[in-house]
Amino acid sequence: MVAALELYLDVDATRRVRTLWRALEAEGIPSLGELHQKHRPHVSLAAARTIDPYAAAAALKGLEVGRGLTLRMDFVGQFVGRVLWLGVTATAELLEHHRLVHERLAAGGVELWEHYQPGRWVPHCTISMRVPNPMMAPAIRRCLEILPLTATVTGAAIADHVNGIAQPV
């Protein structure tokens, strides 16, 4: 992922995820906290190779993106490529908000990756982008130690860490 619309978590949930990142790193498992050292715990609502932060902000104007949503992380998952994540329970409220955000972005001409579209999106909080195969079981065990985790969304931004973009929306 290069650019994303990220939902940011409350202070307690952020602290718990960062603690998990550090615990994994101490065991030799790379975490998202190490990648660019700019990431903060988040759940991405949308992603693409690039997202024009000004076009996205204009499309979402007047919408409190994610703010106040309660996210419950209850399970651990893995995407192809050894990406490890905490799974967010897909509530009706979260899915409706996701649909509305995508509707507004599409109307604003913001193109996004298909696998983040409504009906295909898997809500998650990324923990590691490349867990070494022999370390997957210990990494999953560490993740399970902090679950369940409930978080309140406190903010959102278009983030492109490689290009130094963090535009609040």
Confidence label for 33 from pLDDT (cuts 50, 70 and 90)? confident
- CA gap 103, 96 in Å, rounded: 10
- CA gap 168, 57 in Å, rounded: 8
Tell me what the mean pLDDT of segment 31-40 comes to. Answer: 77
- Alpha carbon 60 to chain centroid, angstroms: 18
DSSP H helices, 66-122, are 92-107
**Which residues are 15's β-sheet partners?**
none
20 DSSP assignment: H
Confidence check: pLDDT of 107 > 70: yes
* pLDDT tens-place string over residues 78-102: 999 899 999 999 999 999 999 999 9
Within 80-164, strands assigned E span 83-88, 124-128, 149-160
- CA gap 140, 60 in Å, rounded: 36
Q: How many helices (H) and strands (E) does the chain have?
A: 4, 7
Q: How many domains does the chain have?
A: 1
* pLDDT tens-place string over residues 37-52: 678 999 999 999 999 9
Report if residue 156 sits inside a domain. yes
Confidence label for 112 from pLDDT (cuts 50, 70 and 90)? very high
**Which residues are 8's β-sheet partners?**
42, 155
Q: Is the pTM of this model over 0.85?
A: yes
What is the per-residue pLDDT for 164?
83
What is the per-residue pLDDT for 37?
63
- CA gap 30, 159 in Å, rounded: 21
What is the per-residue pLDDT for 35?
63
* pLDDT tens-place string over residues 119-138: 999 999 999 999 999 999 99
Q: Any idea what the CATH number is for the domain that residue 63 is in? A: 3.90.1140.10
The per-residue pLDDT of the chain, averaged, comes to 94
Report if residue 167 sits inside a domain. no
Neighbours of 7 (CB within 10 A): 28
What is the per-residue pLDDT for 14?
97
What is the per-residue pLDDT for 59?
97
Structural domain boundaries enclosing 87? 3-162
State residue 146 phi and psi, 5-degree precision.
-100, -5
Report if residue 169 sits inside a domain. no
Report if residue 168 sits inside a domain. no
